[in-house]
Amino acid sequence: MTRKYFGTDGIRGTVGQPPITPDFVLRLAHAVGRVLRQTEDRPTVLIGKDTRISGYMLESALESGFNSAGVDVVLLGPLPTPGVAYLTRAQRASLGVVISASHNPFADNGIKFFSAQGSKLPDAWELAVEAALEEAPVWVDSASLGKARRLDDAAGRYIEFCKSTFAGDLTLKGMRIVVDAAHGAAYQIAPKVFHELGADVVSIGCAPDGLNINHEVGATHPDALVRAVRANHADVGIALDGDADRLQMVDGAGRLYNGDELLYLLARDRMGRDELVPGVVGTQMTNMAIELALRERGVKLVRAKVGDRYVLEELTRHGWLLGGEGSGHLLALDKHTTGDGLISALQVLQSCVRNDQTMAELLEGVQLFPQVLLNVRLQPGQDWRANTRLAQETAAVEAELGDGGRVLIRASGTEPLLRVMVEARDAAQASACAERLAQAAKG
């Protein structure tokens, strides 16, 4: 059964256009509440959000929808997505809800959910919610309506949780760190985490106004971080996205490290401490150089579909702990149940401090293959799989690359885009091949 509303990461879209309208979000919360009450008499849900101006409106709609179904609500205020996952588990809540469109611009927003265990919910649950959305609402009587309250110390609890994942015998004293929170959910939290562990912190992207989330800052615009690291003569730069589940890092020389490199670093660090790392989960986009580097260390790389939920599914299937995407969604399941930009950054810094080495030194000998990614906008109803010209061009490019590269073409799960990726040892070849495929995709 195909999902009508849920994408790869919850429900997302432009605010004011279906489905991100207050009336739909109210109906959504009511439907979710009815699904929860099938197995629990008096459920409690936590609601957190990022800093988009539309968060106020959607928060109110969610609160009303849940209360109308007999579900209690705890409002967390601005809080990173992984912070909501943590508190859902810590508070023994029935469900965690996040109002965020992650790395998208402020005009977009979305709703995503976490289970009572703080993990992403399965497709079957989302299908049950969509089925409930098709039914007429059933309002509970007045005596059974849900209540709402605010958890005033939500940020402080999450800060302490993040710090607890950093080795107690280590410190960040003597390290200057630039922290870029993308004017998003971690704007108050991220600087405090690193400061309280001893670092000298310089903050950028920590002044949200409701409209500037992810605007020319954060993990999707790391140039701002590179400039700030150089200008402040910092040792490290850390960039999060709007809901702080994504991470990019920069070293003192201004070199940017993506999620693939950081994932390899986390695996290498664990092996250096004689921890068993039988395998790591990447995605279809994970750079070939990382796969080869892991293989040299006897570690298998399994590729999941793009999306951290699919990485988590593979980790669970294999019983492994480490996985992630080049975009910076990293999972360390011995530290948290979901991807967490702050905790991932702390794991990288912990490795640097423990080994007294920079990221460049820890990654010596690992050289990423040039990878060219082009986005082609899809027209409404366009079936890219039926494009015979694209199929022929793809076959020709794959034959040209042979074992020295690969092609990946996929539709975005959150936007009307076709993503065309070509990876090859030679940058010029990768770029030329990607352009050929993009032109073919346009028809």
Cα–Cα distance measured from residue 5 to residue 142, given in angstroms and rounded to the nearest whole number? 30
Contact 87, 158 (CB under 8 A): yes
Q: Of 17, 88, 26, which Cα lies nearest the Cα of 63?
A: 26
- For the beta carbon of residue 186, count every other beta carbon within 10 angstroms: 36
Q: Of 263, 312, 341, 259, which Cα lies nearest the Cα of 82?
A: 341
Contact 65, 75 (CB under 8 A): no
Peptide bond between residue 43 and the one before it cis (omega within 30 degrees of 0):
no
All residues at 6 or more sequence positions from 124 whose CB lies less than 8 Å from its CB, including other chains: none
For residue 54, give both structure tokens.
Answer: 């539309």
Which position among 54, 100, 102, 119 bears the catalytic label? 102
Classify residue 275 by its DSSP letter. -
Q: Of 193, 209, 210, which Cα lies nearest the Cα of 201?
A: 193
- Which contiguous run of DSSP H or E holds residue 438? helix 427-441
Helix %, strand %, coil % of the chain (to 5)? 40, 20, 40
For residue 300, give both structure tokens.
Answer: 């298998």
- Which contiguous run of DSSP H or E holds residue 408? strand 405-411
102 is catalytic: yes
- For the beta carbon of residue 121, count every other beta carbon within 10 angstroms: 20
Contact 341, 186 (CB under 8 A): yes
Q: Of 349, 340, 326, 391, which Cα lies nearest the Cα of 162?
A: 340
For residue 415, give both structure tokens.
Answer: 């936007």
SS3 337: coil
Q: Of 245, 224, 208, 222, which Cα lies nearest the Cα of 345?
A: 245
The strands making up 148-150's β-sheet, listed across from edge to edge, are: 11-14, 108-114, 95-99, 44-49, 72-78, 148-150
Cα–Cα distance measured from residue 51 to residue 204, given in angstroms and rounded to the nearest whole number? 15
Q: Which residues are catalytic?
A: 102
